[in-house]
A and B are shown apart, each in its own frame.
Chain A
Amino acid sequence: MPGKLKAKIVAGRHLPVMDRASDLTDAFVEVKFGNTTFKTDVYPKSLNPQWNSEWFKFEVDDEDLQDEPLQITVLDHDTYSANDAIGKVYIDIDPLLSSEAATVISGWFPIYDTIHGIRGEINVLVKVDLFNDLNRFRQSSCGVKFFCTTSIPRCYRAAMVHGFVEELVVNEDPEYQWIDRIRTPRASNEARQRLISLMSGELQRKIGLKVLEMGGNAVVGYLQCFDLEGESGLVVRAIGTACTLEKLSNSSAAAPPACNSPSKDIKEPPFSEDPNPNTHSSGPSTPLKTQTYSFSPSKSYSRQSSSSDTDLSLTPKTGMGSGGSAGKEGGPLKTLLRQQTQSALEQREFPFFTLTSFPPGFLIHVGGVVSARSVKLLDRIHNPDEPETRDAWWEEIRQEIKSHARALGCHAVVGYSESTSICEEVCILSASGTAAVLHPKFMQEGCLDGYSDPSRLSRQPATFSAGSEKGEFDIFPQSKDSSAALGLEEPSPPSCGFCHIPYDELNIPFPAHLTYCYHCRRQKVPDVLFTTIDMPAEAAVTGKGCLIQARLCRLKKKAQGEVNATAISNLLPFMEYELHTQLMNKLKLRGMNALFGLRIQISVGENMLVGLASATAVYLTALPTPGGIQIAGKTPSDITYEQHISNMQKKINDTIAKNKELYEVNPPEVIEEVIGSPIPEPRQRSRLFRSHSESSDEVSELDLSHGKKDAFVLEIDDTDAVEDIHSLLTDTPAPAGFYSCNTEIMPGIYNWTSGLQMFTSVRVFRLSNANLTNQGLNKIFNDLCENLLKSLYFKLRSMIPCCLCHLNFTVAVPEDELIQVAVTAVAMTFDKDQAQENWKLGADKTHMKAIVENEEQLQFPLELCTESPSTNPFSPCRGTGLQESANAHATPRAASVDYSSFADRWSSWIELIRLKAQTIRRGSIKTTSSLEKASPLPEGRSRSLRSTRSYAGSTVAVVKMTPLSFIPGTRIIKYLGIINMFFIRETTSLREEGGVSGFLHAFIAEVFAMVRAHVAALGGNAVVSYSMKECVFMENPNKNQAQCLINVSGDAVIFMRESELEATPAPPQTSCSGGEVTT
């Protein structure tokens, strides 16, 4: 009985009229928690009742505190008949359970009814008294903090990152219970809302327990989803990254550099050379040092927690990938390393991280995107009420991801996420992430073990500590050709290190074209890099980035059961392949060479599959200039045909040139080299390849082709290809003054001002044409997305110059002939004029700051380096099983079907595979210049504090919402807890409410209102990392009915404007960095 929950009902306002006769309402309130209910007195005849109730006290145990929401029901008293419900408020009291979050919930909450929407507001006060001391309390998982943010939250530093946590709970869906036939829709909706609220609470508690077991105190990158399976149940599942977070010292406010640049905080260090470089140099060195790495006390926890001692090394996370590589490696060292890693791997079940941006120094190399999909039949679940079957499904997928990563020479997967798409009894499970090599310094105790064995050192992945986002320099230079070189090499600069290949170039897992890094010239890089993470803050970029989308529809026959599942399984590989091709083409068309934040969604409907891939393209300075796109026909003899082709070629070339100008992609090198003309002349090539050729021989041919510049060749031997090209060219660029990306921030834009507009837009398109072809469908879908973007640009034109960030598209096929697209994003203004100068100025500052921080921050890493230096960390991995994976990719294989489940997983993506481009080495690059550019300079951004509109006069507290983890020009000083809300809205008078659009518009506005009210009641003024994870819309126009379910989440925070902060004693950035480091 660890807690006493207290609630007080203060007043209501704007209540609806419940008594027609008097035009008034006799309202009272029921307050319920668990099985205990209290009531207020009836406040007669008023629309603005003042109950001013006593404190209702609930004595409850901790499990309930975590699972149950506080339920507040407002009713209208009726002497003669049953009391009518006006509406409800569910309050999640979890934020009150953590000492660092909110202490009281107090404010006006919208009274919500699933049939009528918001009906007035109620003022409530809620507190929790914990009887037991904190320690005791911690035995339950109360107090574990949850963050949706996929980076280390500002104002915290990660003492240790323990690794992947997941959990899944199942229940019967109330909507499918027999009783649903006799109860009202309202009762049914409320049962569902209540159940999901309970399940989320339970899920969070269970995950919390796992985190405690691992020795952590927080979950970062918490991603919770619902699967409405229908008859077989309702699943709530979540994944996240367990960490031990430490609050930055008091100065916290001051401490973390402003939120503006996501990257700012700690990450800045990029420029400075890594302190760590030494690492390499030293040999396998002494095991002892290990301790140094571990950042902190936290280590110890983790150990305990780790399930098996044997595993020890990295309890939480381990690196995985190295497995296969050993044989290939040159030195014995490597082998050792490899073994070590491997063992670590085995211990750690899934070295996955849901984070998308990392503390500096954490991410060493990025291998590429890995993904897996699997088709399952829900009606084959033996024991639908138990989670085992689903657990096994996900387990399979994760294993697959893990093996893909290993094939890429990587031991970890970052930017990891999971999703499902369900249609009737078929369910597609998907997971994707980015294979990566992480810095050993962040590993935790696992290291200890490792140390004892000298060989292991460098490699252990495990936990890392660290501040904010990602940083990546790698500390280890990869030796150019041979591992031997190691010690001598200088560390690669942070701005390009992550691009360097983690695999062994002699055993490339797939036909990629490698060149020496254009930035440091020391190590090999691929010609194109695809990732699911945010761009590391310190990455060197040329020009600006842009949003790229690949869109695809595929018809399929209606079918049932296994036949259906098999059909879907068979289609999936082709869809992935095409999406990939489209992405690659569009990337080339923009003259860029890397994708960040790649998210591929494939949704299943009765008679079609819809695929949507979104990513932010950039030109990484370290990677080679992409070649152009060349078109070739199969039958060159025909003159008109040739002409047609050359026209098309010209168009493409023009587009590329235009895009380069638009996005300011002018890699310096190009100038120097004659050869470098980005657009290959068509005739140069004698041969054409279809870029995506599947057979490996073709690939080899590719390499043979021309020496200099490579081009990406499209063969238009069939109508499909023509269509493809057309669709390539129909992507209209954003209007002047607009930029867009689906990552946190736009590469190349640094001085954000404070204009901020978060929005959600939903469109549903009805296909009425019965005989659609794939092409027709593609065009419709393509237009749907394009028009949606155009609409957004148009609506937000008053904010120009502005950037749409975190453009997050979700597609669904809710019914036979419907395609639904939902977008949530934020438009942020930036200062165009100052862009350049500020940037430079900022750069210097940042630079300095970065250094400072670096020093402090890296303190221990330094030590570490000395010790561990030895191995080339990477090399060991390199050799790995790439080969196999490569093959796997090359040919999509049909899904293997076993009885109960159709697993189709071929899908892992090793993105690099398909590139056929050939790169040439460029002349020398000026490193210095690129270095300067490398840092995104958060400072610059933070500087520009434009005063936002002052909302001073308004009586309702302003709450900002953003899908990003920061708000420009401000600093987050406190995290108040996670917001995770689920609402159902239903109507039986659709026409009267303005049709489907009116209905959904009102509902979304209501959801925003409820989120804001909850945040305000917690004392917050913003929601960061906001996302709408689910928007399930169903209608029945004939019956004048519609229903919609929405699930949103985010982190409630208090932020302060930087200008205000500066006024306060706490010195801004420098001081902070000082404070935080101590551990």
Chain B
Amino acid sequence: MSMELDVFVGNTMLLDEEVYKLWLDGYTVGDAVRLRLEGGVLQECEASEEVLHSDTMDQFRTFQMCERFLHCPSKLANQLLFQIPPHRQAMLIERYYMFDSGFARELLGKKLSKGTKKDLDDVSAKTGITLKSCRRQFDNFKRVFKAVEELKGPLVENIQHHFLLSDRLARDYAAVVFFANSRFETGKRKLQYLSFQDFAFCARQLISYWTVGSVDSMLEGMDVDLEKEFLHDLKDLKILITDKDMLDQHKSLVCAALRGKIKVFNEMEGNFKNLSRALVNIAVKLTHTKDVRDLFIDLVEKFIEPCRSDRWAVGDIRLFLTHYTSTAHKLDTFRHLVIWDRYMGVVKSCILKMYHD
């Protein structure tokens, strides 16, 4: 004796955001029912578990039927099968593309390949996110990546245009795409303390200042790749550390500016040359793709860790970097100020963002 068939179809798609979330989170119908029960739905509306089960099944089925439209969000507005009010459509899309930052953190910088997809069970085990949800998120990453990889124009706008996402979410996707494209190393143990949002911030900095699109403002070029010419020009900064006079002069200017203003003045003074060498060396190495990938690990190993061991406060770092950047303008023989500012602006923001426990 059993219910052989049980369906409910509304002229306007009827959906419960909570259930949608459970579906997105990859729960089975049984688990979803349990979670809803625990969540106390029944208290707000008298009903039996049976009713809850039937409702959950229905909605899961609806979402499943809807999924193919969600893969191409612009179709959702054109399709005739389901009548969904626009604000609901936006919600469906936004939630579908929303990802767990824990998951994204794991995947950041990895190649979005079949191999990676196969390893998702590890990610699932590590993050506690269901495998089904991991797969959906992975597929979303890959879908967005493929769609915008070859496109010209601003990355965020491209994503927004194709996937009808909110500004915030589109930015996050931009970071994911950017990292996946440049394959930045983020998995090292020393980088583990950094969150997805830290990296997303850095990605935005890089996209805004170091890519082709950043120079040509929106018109052409691609946001996904760093500007080759710029990376090449960074070699010229080497003079800051190879020219002994310049290095000394730079140090004295910075010390003059910071004296009395930071607590770690002595440590700074003692370490200045190392720090400056580290920053400039990172810049110089960026011509090699391999070293580009190591950008973040380099920043942490060469700059952040030494500072941290000397117990610099964030404020100290900010002051140091500010003056370190600006005093270069006072160096008589240093001519690469445009490149310098472009480089240091981003590095400074990134370091400040990354400088925490």
The chain A residues found within 8 Å of chain B, CB to CB, are: 13-14, 108, 110, 118, 121, 735, 756-769, 780, 787, 790-798, 818, 820, 949-956, 958-961, 994, 996-998, 1000-1002, 1004-1006, 1008-1009, 1012-1013, 1033
Alpha-carbon distance A708/B25, docked complex (angstroms): 65
Q: How far is the CA of A13 from the CA of B78 in the complex (A)?
A: 10
The secondary structure that dominates the A interface is: mixed
Q: Which residues of A have CB within 8 Å of B44?
A: 797
Q: Are A757 and B46 in contact, CB atoms less than 8 angstroms apart?
A: no
Residue of B nearest to A758 (CB): B11
Q: Is B125 an interface residue (CB 8 A)?
A: no
User: How far does the Cβ of B44 sit from chain A's closest Cβ, in whole Å?
Assistant: 7
Q: How far is the CB of A203 from chain B (nearest CB, A)?
A: 27
- Collect the chain B residues with CB atoms within 8 Å of residue A766's CB: 1-4
Contact in complex: A762, B4 (CB < 8 Å):
no
Q: Chain B contacts of A757 at CB under 8 A?
A: 10-12, 14
Is B338's CB within 8 Å of the partner chain A?
Answer: no
Q: Are A761 and B9 neighbours in the complex by a CB distance under 8 Å?
A: yes
B45's partner among A760, A793, A998 (CB-CB below 8 A) is A793
- On whether the beta carbons of B7 and A759 are closer than 8 Å, the reply is no
Which residues of A sit under 8 angstroms from B51, Cβ to Cβ? 787, 790-791, 794
With A758-B11, A766-B2, A997-B61 as contacts: A1008 and B83 at CB distance below 8 Å? yes
- Chain B hits for A958, CB < 8 A: 83, 85
Query: Considering the chains assembled together, what is the distance between the CA atoms of A903 and B243 in angstroms?
Result: 114
Chain B residues with CB under 8 A of A761:
7-9
Nearest Cβ on chain B to A15's Cβ, whole angstroms: 12
B11 touches A1000 (CB 8 A): no
Question: Chain A residues near B54 (CB, 8 Å)?
Answer: 791
Least CB distance from A486 to B in Å reads 52
By a CB distance below 8 angstroms, the chain B residues around A1009 are 80-83
Among A767, A949, A954, A1000, contact of B7 (Cβ-Cβ < 8 Å): A1000
For A959, the chain B residues whose CB sits under 8 A away are 83
Asked if B161 is at the interface of the complex by the 8 Å CB criterion, the answer is no
B1, B45, B47: which has the most chain A beta carbons within 10 Å? B45
Complex contact B3–A765 (CB within 8 A) = yes
A758 to B10, CA, bound (A): 6
Contact A997 B77 (CB under 8 A): no
Name 20 interchain pairs, CB-CB below 8 A, sorted by A.
A13-B78, A108-B80, A759-B8, A759-B14, A761-B7, A766-B2, A768-B2, A780-B1, A787-B50, A792-B8, A794-B47, A794-B52, A949-B85, A951-B86, A958-B83, A997-B7, A1001-B62, A1005-B9, A1006-B81, A1012-B11
Q: How far is the CB of A1038 from chain B (nearest CB, A)?
A: 14
Interface size on B, residues (CB 8 A): 43
Closest approach, in angstroms, between the C-beta of B286 and any C-beta of chain A?
40
> For A951, what are the chain B residues with a Cβ–Cβ distance below 8 Å?
85-86
- B9 and A997: CB pair below 8 A? no
The digit string for B35-48, where 1 denotes a CB below 8 A from any CB of A, is: 00000000011111
With a cutoff of 8 Å between Cβ atoms, the chain A residues found around residue B86 in the complex are 950-954
Q: How far is the CA of A508 from the CA of B91 in the complex (A)?
A: 64
Within the complex, what minimum Cβ distance (angstroms) separates B94 from chain A?
A: 14
Residue of A nearest to B88 (CB): A949
Q: From B11, B50, B61, B84, give the contact of A1008 (CB < 8 A).
A: B11
- The 10 tightest CB contacts between A and B, nearest first, are A953-B86, A764-B5, A759-B10, A758-B11, A1004-B9, A1001-B7, A761-B8, A764-B4, A794-B47, A961-B11
Beyond known contacts A121-B80, A790-B47, A951-B85: 7 more, CB 8 A cutoff:
A13-B78, A765-B4, A769-B1, A792-B8, A795-B8, A818-B4, A951-B86
Task: Tell me if B333 is interfacial: C-beta within 8 Å of chain A.
Answer: no
User: What separation, in Å, do the CA atoms of A955 and B2 have in the docked complex?
Assistant: 42
A791 and B7 within 8 A (CB): no
Q: Which residue of A lies closest to B52 (CB)?
A: A794
A441 to B50 alpha-carbon distance, docked (Å): 55
B11 & A763 in contact (Cβ 8 Å cutoff): no
The residue that B3 contacts in the complex, of A121, A763, A796, A998, with Cβ under 8 A, is: A763
Residues of B within 8 A of A798 (CB): 16
Q: Which residues of the partner chain A approach B57 to less than 8 Å between Cβ atoms? A: 997
Residue of B nearest to A737 (CB): B45
Instruction: Let me know if B61 and A994 touch, CB within 8 A.
Output: yes
Select which of B10, B62, B75, B85 is within 8 A of A954 by beta carbon: B85
Minimum CB–CB distance from B46 to chain A (whole Å) comes to: 5
- Provide the B64-92 mask, 1 if CB < 8 A to any CB of A, else 0: 11000000000101111111111101000
Contact B83 A763 (CB under 8 A): no
Known contacts A794-B52, A794-B55, A1012-B80; A997 and B6 CB within 8 A of each other: yes
Q: Give A583 Cβ to nearest chain B Cβ, in Å.
A: 25
Evaluate contact between B6 and A763: CB separation under 8 angstroms: yes
Please judge, given known A-B contacts A790-B47, A949-B85, whether A1001 and B80 are in contact too, CB under 8 Å: no
Q: Nearest residue in A to B75 (C-beta to C-beta)? A: A14
Which of B12, B14, B50, B62: most chain A Cβ within 10 A? Answer: B12
- A791 to B3 alpha-carbon distance, docked (Å): 13
Residues in B neighbouring A780, C-beta threshold 8 A = 1
B14 near A795: Cβ-Cβ < 8 Å:
yes
User: B58 near A: Cβ within 8 Å?
Assistant: yes
A118, B80: Cβ atoms closer than 8 Å: yes
Query: Bound state CA distance, A756 and B61, in angstroms?
Result: 22
Q: CA separation between A950 and B77, bound complex, in Å?
A: 14
Is there contact, CB below 8 Å, between A118 and B81? yes
